[in-house]
């Protein structure tokens, strides 16, 4: 979660200098960051400490996701986007990201089943090799599927 010791606005403009305040606020809303940003003393103009050390890990993570959305590229790559989030925040973020995914390819790298379960297509890797490709339902339908075993070991249902 790399954030500069600049304002939140500057961290967002770094990836898209043409982004308006409206664009930045919308991205923060999608990433579940707007409420805490608005609670900060100077909102978007709040200067973050060194590497954002004045924020929680989850807050930093949500600002980095917002920055990815502000960048406005056809491909959005999210590496463990919910790793530092509690379950209610994770659920809200996943729901919001579905809307942000419209018109772009979103690649999510995740270990949490709840993060990937509703993906259009899951590529299940094990020991660096692809062990299955399909939707959650398709991968669960195969009784010998490595993905199915992973889900069962996590206590997930079919």
- Given this model, what pLDDT does residue 54 score? 75
Q: Are strands 105-109 and 122-126 parallel, antiparallel or unpaired?
A: unpaired
Q: Is 46 exposed, middle or buried (0-12, 13-18, 19+ CB in 10 A)?
A: middle
| Domain layout of the chain by residue ranges | 8-109, 120-158
- Given this model, what pLDDT does residue 158 score? 47
Q: Which of 35, 62, 60, 61 is nearest to 48 (CA)?
A: 60
pLDDT values of the chain reduced to their tens digit, one per residue, 158 residues:
588 889 999 999 999 999 999 999 999 999 999 999 999 999 999 999 775 567 888 899 899 999 999 999 999 888 887 777 788 888 888 888 887 788 888 888 887 787 788 888 999 999 999 999 999 999 999 999 999 998 998 876 54
Q: How far apart are CA 65 and CA 77, in angstroms?
A: 9
CATH class of 8-109: alpha beta
């Amino acid at each position: 979660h790399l954030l500069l010791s600049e304002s939140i606005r500057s961290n967002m403009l770094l990836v898209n200098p043409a982004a308006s305040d409206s664009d930045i606020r919308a991205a923060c809303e999608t990433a579940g960051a707007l409420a805490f940003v608005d609670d900060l003393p100077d909102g978007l103009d709040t200067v973050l400490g060194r590497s954002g050390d004045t924020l929680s890990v989850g807050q930093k993570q949500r600002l980095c996701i917002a920055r990815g959305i502000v960048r406005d590229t056809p491909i959005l790559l999210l590496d463990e986007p919910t790793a530092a989030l509690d379950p209610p925040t994770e659920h809200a973020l996943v729901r919001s990201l579905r809307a942000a995914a419209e018109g772009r390819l979103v690649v999510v790298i995740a270990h949490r089943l709840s993060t990937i379960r509703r993906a259009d297509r899951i590529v299940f890797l094990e020991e660096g090799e692809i062990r299955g490709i399909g939707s959650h339902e398709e991968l669960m339908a195969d009784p010998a599927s490595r993905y199915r075993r992973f889900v069962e070991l996590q206590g997930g249902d079919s």
